[in-house]
Structure 1
Amino acid sequence: MTLEILTPERKLFSGDVYGVQLPGIDGLFEVLDKHAPLVSALKTGTLKILKDKHSTVSYSIQSGFAEVLNNKTTVLVEGANEA
């Protein structure tokens, strides 16, 4: 699965990943390979990139949106810092 994380200032991350865990408005959810199409609002919280089954990278994000389409997840957030 391809993941892109974008802020108004820059592209924070772009690459192939195992999955991503996102802080949705109604709670955490996870997107893995071949996930169904989805658009979701995100709240301030922690985004975890699952690089593989044993390696993760975390970012503290501000609110935004996530779109999943054709095995690509695009995350648009107001701001983010590596946790």
Structure 2
Amino acid sequence: MTLEILTPEKKIYSGTVYGVQLPGIDGLFEVLNKHAPLVSALSKGNLKILKDKTSFETYTIQSGFVEVLDNKVTVLVEGAVLV
């Protein structure tokens, strides 16, 4: 699946990933390949990009939103910093 992380200033990440873990307002959740369509609010916390089954990158994000549609995950956040 494809992941894009966007802030008002720039694109932080774009690429093909295995999955992504997100800090939802009601708790942590994970999106994997072929996930059902979804729109959710995000809280401040850590976003983990699962590049494959063994490697990952982590970003600290500010609040925002995520949209999952047609095997593409778009994350819109106020700010993101690579940990």
TM-score by length of 1: 1.00
Deviations 1:48-80 (A, max 9, x none): 000000000000000000000000000000001
Report sequence identity in percent.
77
Report how many aligned residue pairs link the two structures: 83
> What is the correspondence of 1:7-26 to structure 2 with a 5 Å cutoff?
7-26=7-26
Distance across 2 between alignment mates of 1:55 and 1:72: 20
> What is the correspondence of 1:38-77 to structure 2 with a 5 Å cutoff?
38-77=38-77
Flag structure 1 segments of 5+ consecutive residues without an equivalent. none
Q: CA deviation at 1:36?
A: 0.1
Deviations 1:12-62 (A, max 9, x none): 000000000000000000000000000000000000000000000000000
Moved over 6 A (4+): none
Aligned to 1:53, the other structure's residue is in SS state coil
Flag structure 2 segments of 5+ consecutive residues without an equivalent. none
Distance across 2 between alignment mates of 1:15 and 1:39: 20
Give the RMSD, CA atoms, in angstroms: 0.2
TM-score by length of 2: 1.00
